[in-house]
Every structure is written in structure tokens, then in C-alpha cells.
Structure 1
Amino acid sequence: MTDLNKLTLSAARDGLRAKEFTSADLTEACLSVIEGSGALNAFVHNTPEIARAQAKAADARLAAGDAPAMCGLPIGIKDLFCTKGVATQAASRILEGFTPEYESTITAKLFDAGSVMLGKLNMDEFAMGSSNETSVYGDVVNPWKVDDRTLTPGGSSGGSASAVAADLCLAATGTDTGGSIRQPAAFTGIVGIKPTYGRCSRWGTVAFASSLDQAGPMTKSVRDAAMMLEVMCGHDAKDSTSADLAVPNFEAMLTGDIKGKKIGIPKEYRIDGISAEIAKLWDDGAAMLRDAGAEIVDISLPHTKYALPAYYVIAPAEASSNLARYDGVRYGHRAKLAAGDGIDDMYEKTRAEGFGHEVQRRVMVGTYVLSAGFYDAYYNRARRVRTLIKQDFENVFAQGVDAILTPATPSAAFGLGEMSESDPIQMYLNDVFTVTVNLAGLPGISVPAGLSSEGLPLGLQLIGKPWEEGDLLNIAHSLEDAAGFVSKPNKWW
């Protein structure tokens, strides 16, 4: 069987069970296409020896019977997850040479379930970015191409999105602090889900903003997302924010029956400047869900307009605190010092050399809003606004709404370099539809639903009730079926 790398997780699982091929076959198919994918710059630390050893072990488990659903399936790991004995840099120069002696909880769960790691994936530095242009490894390129431009795959999980869309791996891990799973999923025509805050452990994942970060899967279908998410979820005593809740069988909940479900359409998301294509896609998505038996209702989330400013106070504040640990003393990059330099000089030079411009910008913003004179004016006010945003969602769900349908992004993928670093606000606006979900700690999923007039993928976002990922995935499954999105990028790399 050829093109094994193009299989979905569920199709590959079924093929392994039917003994049509082995995990070793799947793994070699992926490794061979990764070798020729340098133009995409998605994989940054290849681990073929580990992959082959894990595939061999998975085949033994499969032969013995009773192997978990993810057993033998080759995936990519975002460079934010610590992987024992494998470089983990968070795409930053300051973590150059850092090789963890421990495994993140998420990767440990996936490997315990028999998943195969093909390598580490590129990303925005410390997950700060919406276009994957802040990485020390260089830009990731979107496999979708419609003219002579190279397009962004989105960020910060751009390497994960590019690799899955280009069939370099069957699925990948991502993290989402303000849209970093859902926005790149929309830009590359794949599925990405951010679960409820606390559903997936953050232990061993390099921190950006601790009250917002959440891991999730990036996959080729909603069924695959359900399969992989179930393995990633679960209580972890090492993470104080991890929820001690049972994890349901998400895949078994994909009935496709959404009759009687109430889907909210928030009027505040009809922002100025939204493209006519995105607006039409949104209307079409609502019609698809209505045809599937759902009730479509207009809702109001009145504090939405304050979400971006609140997010860009809270996230940098937490980042400035989290990134204070990178000082060149114990691990990672350390600047060369001149005679007479003291420890303060070492800190300053190391951080100036080690952090890229976007990370420096956010650390400075965060330090400013946490400073004595501005703590109440900025940080505390943003926290109060965050509470109001969360209450907006609670009020809507209390009215019987089961999920909320919105666009995932304000546009299709744009060209690398088109959004100038001199105007970061323009880049931050890419997160306009996604940050509310992180501020409220809710689950959200991006589903590919159509193509732009240029032929680029467009995604729709569904936002669910807390801890109701199964219900959210089922509604997303129905939308996926109705949209019938099957387009793939033409191979040019």
C-alpha cells in the first residue's frame, strides 16, 4: 500500500488492526517524506532512531493484541513539549543545547499509548506569534500555495499545522494560548481543538502564559482529534491546574446527531473589516448546522470588544514572570562576557542575545503592566475584564445554548513578511476570534469548511461548554460532514 503517510489516524489504526501494514511501514513512509520537505521547515529536530524503535515496540504490542487506539501511529511533537533526551528549544536561542532529562506529561501519555515520535516541530518562539516568523529555526511555510508567494501556516503551532497538512505525519501536538492551535489549523485546512483549561496537563510544557496555555491535537479529521485528545487528557498530580475529571470516550460520542442542539451566533463577532468570504462561510456554516437539525439563535457577548486588549495585558504579564527563569546560569545559551563584567551584565547580555524581538517586546510590556505604578491600572483591570468575558459565556450557556459558531480567523493565510514587525498590532488582530476562548477557559475547535476565492482553506470555530469536549466534537463532526472539505495542497516542496 502506497502513500501510507496520507492516512488519517483512524484509517491507519484500522489498517494496523487488519494487518494491512505495520507501524514500521507507516513510520518509514512518514520519515521518507519528511526527508524531502526541507522547503516547509516544519520539522526541526528529527528523531528517526527513536521513531523506528517505538514503531518496533508498537508492532509487538499490536501482535500481542489489546493495544490502545493510538498504538503505532506516527505523530510530530511541537518543540514546546519537553522530550527526554531530545532537544527542546521552544524555538528560542536562549534554550540552545537544552536537552530535558524528563518527559512532559502529554508526550508521556502519547508514548505510553504506543504513539511514534517522528521528531520535534517548528513554532513561534516561546509560542509568541501568529505567523511562525519568530522562530530561531526560521519561518515555517504553509504547504498551500496559489501564486508565487510563500504563505504563513499561522502560529504559534505553525510547524504542527504545516506538517499535518502536508502529510508529513498523521497528526501533531499543539498548544493554544490565544488561538495557536485553531488559527494555524484554519490556515492549513486541518482540524485543531483546544480543550477546556485544565483538561490537559501543562507539566513539562514550556510555559508562556500559565493561566491561558492548553495543549491539544492537530489532526486531519474530527474523528482523529477525538482519538488523540482522549489520550492527552486526564488528571495529573504534577499540575495544580489539572482537573480531576473522568475522560470520556470522545470517539464514541461522534454520533453525528445534533437534532435539537442550540447553536449561538454572537453578533459582536461581526466586526468591521471582516472579509465577505468569511462572513458568507459563517452564514453557510450556520445553515449547515440548521439543516442537520440544530436550532440557530442570535446571542450577545457584550464584552468581546475588550478581549484583545485584556489578553495582550494578561498574556505578556504572565510571560514576563515565566521567562524570568531564563538567565544563562543553569542551562541554555550564555553570553560571552568581557573582563570586569558582573552577574547583572551576564543576565542582560544573555537575555538580549537569547530572546528574539517579539519575545523581548512582550516581556517588556508584561514587566511594565506588573510594575508598581501600573499594576492596578492595567493588570488588575484586565483581570476584571476577563471575569466579565467569562460571565458573558456563562450567561449564554445558562440560556440553553450548546455551542457557539464563529469564524476561526479574519482572513485566509497571508504571505510571509506581509505583516510588518514594525506594526505588531496588525498581527495581534489575527487572534480576534480566538482569544476570548482562552480568557474564559473554554473548549474551542477549528474545522475546515471551505476555500477562499484564491483557493486557500478557511475554517469555522465552534466554542463549547466547559468540560463538554465530547458534545463539541460531535457538533464539529456534523459540521465537517456537511461542509465536505476534502481539498489538499498540491505538492510543490
Structure 2
Amino acid sequence: MSRALNRRTFLAASGGATFAAAAAVSPTAQAAPDVTLRAAAVDDPTEATIAEALTMLRAGTLSATELVQTHLDRIDRFDDTYQAFNTVTADSALAKAAEVDARGDVRRALSGIPLCIKDNYWTAGVRTTANSRIFADFVPDTDATAVSRLTAAGGIVLGKGQMGPLATTRATTPAGVVTTVNAWTPEDVTVDPGGSSTGPATSVAGRLATSSIGTQTGGSITEPSRQQNLTGLKPTMGRTSIHGIIPLSFTRDHSGPLARDAMDAAIVLSVLAGPDPLDPRTLGLPKVPDLVTAATPVYGTRGVELRRATRIGVPGDFFADLTPEVAAARQSFLDRVAAVPGVTLVDVTYPTDWELLTGAFNAIRLSERTEPFRHWLRQDLSLFGVSSLSWLQGLLLSGDEWITGQRAKTWLLQELFSGLFTQCDVVLQTSPVPFDILGLPEIAFPIGEAPAYDGGPLAPVGVILGGQPYEEDRLLQVAAAHQAVSDFHLRRPVDPAPVRLLSSAALQLDAATVARTAQ
């Protein structure tokens, strides 16, 4: 890899950005189709999906300024409770919306759509902190490639979404005090809102943004999505650029959307996807498929059907260690999806050494994420806050352990393609980690509700579906078909009280919770 693209050089830059991100929108970007509007979206634009908002913008029944302002109003009213944003760029967002209205520019893929950007993406002139002490004052002078593509497609940045410190836990302060909460249970901070992309997820679930982008290294797109009733799509490694993202693991970092439904996820991913000369992982890959078409349900003589016959693998542990309510939600999901023509459910088995390859060897990620941060580890360990021990653990792993882990990864890939994927086309997952290790695509989407814990409040239940390389379109087809025969993705949480009434003691995460939510 050339020195200009070295991750350590990226981190060591003390001032502004040292290289220019690709400014052009991805050539794969696909505009949303006009859709039939729901009454809820017409009555309240913050309820609208991307496709619904664009339909109203094109019809002239909604302006970009109105769309942005209604979201800013909700941020003003509720974000003291949600704490989804750590920076709100209201003035620039309204100025961009006014430009869209003045030009009548409503045909681009994201014209006038209000977005939340996770705070590890570079944003020109706006602090990019990764919620860390290390980058507390970092203000890039260019955008990350993903951000530049979203804005080139007409997207409007409302602000930066709060996240786990350096993307290692759920969103807390570096000292471990809870910030962002699950939008479905804002009064109960013990309910996990998902991994480090908490702010982007909560912003969409709480109707503070129409859609958002996050990053995933150990589940931080799919976990917040399935726990907050969203559709989150983690693409294949290299399908989207990670240039201009403060890194966690170069071989496992992914960027992707956290959206309201499969169509919105497809629209955002079509904007993000494609080659970027500033990220060599994106070059020389198969062509990006027509994601918007993939997310459009097909109706045949028997109702909704899949575009492409698909075998969905159901592993033996799909019903293991679940509450009765979650088990019932999963069974109901299987019943619904099995009734869709083109779907075949098949029981699948993992390789015999699955636990070893996806468990013990998962620790090698720690050395990879520690390597570019060694300067700060030597300088002051307290800069790493609540997750400092895991950073130290990465420093202590040996080179031969890392090499052994890489060999294990190659072996795991071989076993998947010679075993699991001979049995099925996509597979239901009980953890996002194995496919994160391998860089394979995943989609999470809602399938029901259940108590968050015994005696706790109701919270969303979701599933994660993993696919083969560059088959994001097949994953979208399955999710879209399920959403055509269910309404879970249309449900929204009740608005919280506008004032946060929680003591600081209630917001402190204990060590066990930090370990459980670490990414």
C-alpha cells in the first residue's frame, strides 16, 4: 500500500485533512421511485421514508426547508433526552435546504433528505471526534468519501451522531457515562441501543433524521438496527469506501446505512457504493447491482414473491437461549417468510470448529486496532477511557498470534464456501461477528417486539441475515419481501418526555455492561 494511504499517516495528521476525498456522487446512485404515500407521512414529514419524502418533494407538496425544519424542531424538543447528536449543524442544513428549493433540485437520489452522520466520518469544517479525547478538537478540511457522495446526491447533513468512544462500545462518554439511549426505551438506560453507531440509529428511530450512516467492525450497524426497529445494511468489504473514517480495524471496518426500510437502505447504499481511488479496497470489484430494483417488492399471482429463488439457512442455534417472546417472534418470522413464493427454509450446520474460529480468534482484531494508536497509548493511557484495557490487550498480542488469526480467517472462509453456502444462499445469524471477521454482507430488519428483559419495557426484535460476497441485492430482496407482508418497519416509538429526568448515577455503565456492548 502506498504511504499516502497508510492508516498511521491518516491518524498522525495533526491539522486538517492531508488528502482530498472523492467529491463526485457514486455512478451507481439510484433515485427512489415515486411511492404511494401513507397518511402518517403526509401529516408529519418526520414520519416519511426517503422514498416518501422525495415523492412529496417532487410533487411540490413539501419543500426541503419544511422537511429539514421539522426534523430540527424534533431535535430541539427531544434530543436532550435521546442525546443522538453531539453536534447539530442547523444553520448550514437550512441553507442547503433553501438552495434545493430555489433550484427546484428534487431529482437527485437524496435531494433535500436530512441525514445524521456518525462522528467518526470526516466532515469539512465540523468537528470529527469519534467521541474520544484523542480527537476532541479535530476539525477536518475535507469530507470523508461517503459524506461527499451523500451531499453530492443532494443529502443534507443535520449533524454528527453520537457514538461509542473510538467505536468500541455503545455511546457513552469516554469515562463510561451513558449518553445516547434506545429511542424505544429512553427512560431505561440499561436497555442496549446497539453498538457504537448508537446516535445514528437513535436519530432515525426517534424521527430526528430521515436516515443515517454508521460504521461496523463488530456489529455496529446491524445491532442498533435490530434493537431499534431499523433496516441496517452492512455491505461486503470494499463495496463502500472507508476513506476519511477514523479507523478501528482496517480489515473489518465497513460503512453503510441505518434506514427505516429496505428501500431506504438500498437508496443510501447505491449512493455510497462504488470504486474510490482513495480506498484501494473498493477497486476492481464486481459491478454494483441495481439495489433499488432489488428492494422493490414483486407481486405475482400469489402475492409477494422473490425475484430470485433463495434458500434461507436456519442454523441449529437460532432458537437457543431466547426468552419465550423472542422465540415466538422468530418463529412467526420464519412462518411469514416461508410463505413467500421463492423462499425455501433449510436447516444448516456450522463447521465443527465454528466456535473456535469465530470466538477465540476474534481477539486478533485488538492488535490491529491498537497498532495505529500506539503513539497515544505511550503518551497517556487515560485518553482511551472506558475501553483502555482492550487497547492494552491489543498491544500485548504477539505477531505470531496475529498471523495465526489471519490463517484462521482464511480457513473459515474456505469452510463457509465448501460447507455452509453449499446448503443455502443466505443464512440467519445469531451474532454479526463471524461475517464481520470475513467482510461478508449482512442486513438487519425488524420482525416483532418483546420485553427488553424479564419484566422490562417492550423493545423491537430483529434478525440478521448474512449473504455471500457482493450479494447485497439478494439480502435486500428478502428484507423487502418480508416488509411487504408485515408492518413492523412502520412502527415508531412513543415520544419521550422532552426533559431528561435521570440522575447521573443511573447513567453510569458498570464494567460488565461495557464488556457486553464492546465492539
What TM-score do you get using the length of structure 1 for normalisation? 0.84
Alignment of 1:17-96 (within 5 A): 17-36=58-77, 37-61=79-103, 63=104, 67-96=107-136
Residue 122 of structure 1 contacts residue 135 of structure 1 at CA under 8 Å; is this kept in 2? no
Classify the secondary structure of the residue corresponding to 1:120. strand
Residue 172 of structure 1 contacts residue 217 of structure 1 at CA under 8 Å; is this kept in 2? yes
Alignment equivalent of 2:309, drawn from 249, 260, 274: 260
What's the counterpart of residue 420 of structure 1?
none
Number of equivalent positions: 437
Classify the secondary structure of the residue corresponding to 1:93. coil
What's the counterpart of residue 495 of structure 2?
491
Residue 96 of structure 2 contacts residue 156 of structure 2 at CA under 8 Å; is this kept in 1? yes
What's the counterpart of residue 284 of structure 1?
332
Q: For 1:122 and 1:2, locate their aligned partners in 2 and report how far apart those are by CA, in whole Å.
A: 29
Structure 2: gaps of 5 or more residues? 1-41, 298-304, 452-456, 498-519
Question: 1:489 corresponds to which letter in structure 2?
Answer: P
Alignment equivalent of 2:199, drawn from 141, 144, 159: 159
Q: For 1:147 and 1:203, locate their aligned partners in 2 and report how far apart those are by CA, in whole Å.
A: 37
How far has the Cα of 1:402 moved from its partner?
1.9
What's the counterpart of residue 381 of structure 2?
352
What's the counterpart of residue 411 of structure 1?
none
Q: For 1:163 and 1:146, locate their aligned partners in 2 and report how far apart those are by CA, in whole Å.
A: 12
The verdict on how the C-alpha distance between 1:171 and 1:393 changes in structure 2, with shifts beyond 3 A counting, is: same
Alignment of 1:260-409 (within 5 A): 260-271=309-320, 273-293=321-341, 294-302=343-351, 303-310=353-360, 312-324=362-374, 326=376, 347-348=378-379, 351-358=380-387, 360-370=388-398, 375-376=399-400, 378-396=401-419, 398-399=421-422, 401-407=424-430
Classify the secondary structure of the residue corresponding to 1:399. helix
The range that moved more, 77-86 or 30-39, is 30-39
Q: For 1:52 and 1:235, locate their aligned partners in 2 and report how far apart those are by CA, in whole Å.
A: 31
Q: For 2:109 and 2:207, locate their aligned partners in 1 and report how far apart those are by CA, in whole Å.
A: 20
How far has the Cα of 1:391 moved from its partner?
2.3
Residue 397 of structure 1 contacts residue 465 of structure 1 at CA under 8 Å; is this kept in 2? no
Mapped pair 1:473 → 2:476: yes
- After superposition, the C-alpha distances for 1:85-144 in whole angstroms (9 at most, x for unaligned) are 000000001111110111100000001101000000100011101x32355685211121
Question: 1:277 corresponds to which letter in structure 2?
Answer: E
What's the counterpart of residue 516 of structure 2?
none
Residue 212 of structure 1 contacts residue 438 of structure 1 at CA under 8 Å; is this kept in 2? yes
Q: For 2:471 and 2:91, locate their aligned partners in 1 and report how far apart those are by CA, in whole Å.
A: 38
What's the counterpart of residue 232 of structure 2?
192
Alignment equivalent of 1:236, drawn from 252, 276, 287: 276
Classify the secondary structure of the residue corresponding to 2:359. helix
The verdict on how the C-alpha distance between 1:26 and 1:325 changes in structure 2, with shifts beyond 3 A counting, is: farther
Alignment of 1:162-181 (within 5 A): 162-181=202-221
Q: For 1:237 and 1:162, locate their aligned partners in 2 and report how far apart those are by CA, in whole Å.
A: 32
Residue 389 of structure 1 contacts residue 436 of structure 1 at CA under 8 Å; is this kept in 2? no
Classify the secondary structure of the residue corresponding to 1:452. strand
- After superposition, the C-alpha distances for 1:341-361 in whole angstroms (9 at most, x for unaligned) are xxxxxx53xx32322131x22
Identity of aligned residues (%): 29
How far has the Cα of 1:452 moved from its partner?
0.3
Residue 182 of structure 2 contacts residue 189 of structure 2 at CA under 8 Å; is this kept in 1? no
What's the counterpart of residue 340 of structure 1?
none
Residue 81 of structure 2 contacts residue 496 of structure 2 at CA under 8 Å; is this kept in 1? no
What's the counterpart of residue 444 of structure 1?
442
How far has the Cα of 1:447 moved from its partner?
0.5
Q: For 2:219 and 2:487, locate their aligned partners in 1 and report how far apart those are by CA, in whole Å.
A: 24
How far has the Cα of 1:400 moved from its partner?
5.9
Classify the secondary structure of the residue corresponding to 2:62. coil
Classify the secondary structure of the residue corresponding to 2:93. helix
Question: 2:393 corresponds to which letter in structure 1?
Answer: V
Alignment equivalent of 1:464, drawn from 463, 467, 490: 467
Q: For 1:325 and 1:169, locate their aligned partners in 2 and report how far apart those are by CA, in whole Å.
A: 36
- After superposition, the C-alpha distances for 1:198-253 in whole angstroms (9 at most, x for unaligned) are 00001000100110010000011111001111001110111121143422331112
Q: Which runs of 4+ in 1 moved over 6 A?
A: none
The verdict on how the C-alpha distance between 1:20 and 1:325 changes in structure 2, with shifts beyond 3 A counting, is: farther
The range that moved more, 202-211 or 261-270, is 261-270
What's the counterpart of residue 10 of structure 2?
none
Alignment equivalent of 1:132, drawn from 142, 158, 171: 171
Residue 289 of structure 2 contacts residue 473 of structure 2 at CA under 8 Å; is this kept in 1? yes
Classify the secondary structure of the residue corresponding to 2:94. helix
Question: 2:386 corresponds to which letter in structure 1?
Answer: H
- After superposition, the C-alpha distances for 1:335-393 in whole angstroms (9 at most, x for unaligned) are xxxxxxxxxxxx53xx32322131x22221111113xxxx32x3233222222322233
How far has the Cα of 1:312 moved from its partner?
3.9
Q: For 1:284 and 1:239, locate their aligned partners in 2 and report how far apart those are by CA, in whole Å.
A: 42
How far has the Cα of 1:80 moved from its partner?
0.8
Structure 1: gaps of 5 or more residues? 328-346, 408-432
How far has the Cα of 1:277 moved from its partner?
3.2
How far has the Cα of 1:455 moved from its partner?
2.0
Question: 2:411 corresponds to which letter in structure 1?
Answer: L
What's the counterpart of residue 208 of structure 1?
248
Q: For 2:187 and 2:159, locate their aligned partners in 1 and report how far apart those are by CA, in whole Å.
A: 30
Question: 1:384 corresponds to which letter in structure 2?
Answer: R
What's the counterpart of residue 425 of structure 1?
none
Classify the secondary structure of the residue corresponding to 1:355. helix
How far has the Cα of 1:149 moved from its partner?
5.5
- After superposition, the C-alpha distances for 1:309-328 in whole angstroms (9 at most, x for unaligned) are 3464222111101323547x
- After superposition, the C-alpha distances for 1:12-53 in whole angstroms (9 at most, x for unaligned) are 011111111111110111111111221111110111122112
Classify the secondary structure of the residue corresponding to 2:269. helix
- After superposition, the C-alpha distances for 1:436-475 in whole angstroms (9 at most, x for unaligned) are 1111211101101000044210001111111011111011
Alignment equivalent of 2:259, drawn from 203, 208, 219: 219
